[in-house]
Amino acid sequence: MKAFDAPEHIPIYGDSILRVSDRLLIQEMANAIGASFAAFLYRLKELGILQRHDISEYIVGELGIGTGGDA
């Protein structure tokens, strides 16, 4: 993680949604050790590195949906 300048915790939204930048980082780290993305992601979950967030945080924060206030 340190070699890739990865944060201490990587946010995961809902059950399985990652930001594109975090998905690319995880893929890069998995490739470096010869693991599949899925296996490396599973290990990150086991180690408590993935930090769960509500899906609404992704929808509002990353996609910008629901921030207009024009309901």
Question: Is residue 70 predicted with pLDDT exceeding 60?
Answer: no
pTM of the model: 0.82
Give me the mean pLDDT over the 17-24 stretch.
96
Give me the mean pLDDT over the 5-25 stretch.
94
Give me the mean pLDDT over the 22-30 stretch.
97
Domain residue extents for the chain: 2-62
- How would residue 57 be classed by pLDDT, with cut points 50, 70 and 90? very high
Question: Is residue 32 predicted with pLDDT exceeding 90?
Answer: yes
Rounded Cα distance between 5 and 51, Å, is 17
DSSP string for residues in 15-58? TTB--HHHHHHHHHHHHHHT--HHHHHHHHHHTT-EEEE-HHHI
Residue 50 phi/psi, 5-degree rounding, is -80, 130
Burial of 27 (0-12, 13-18, 19+ CB in 10 A): middle
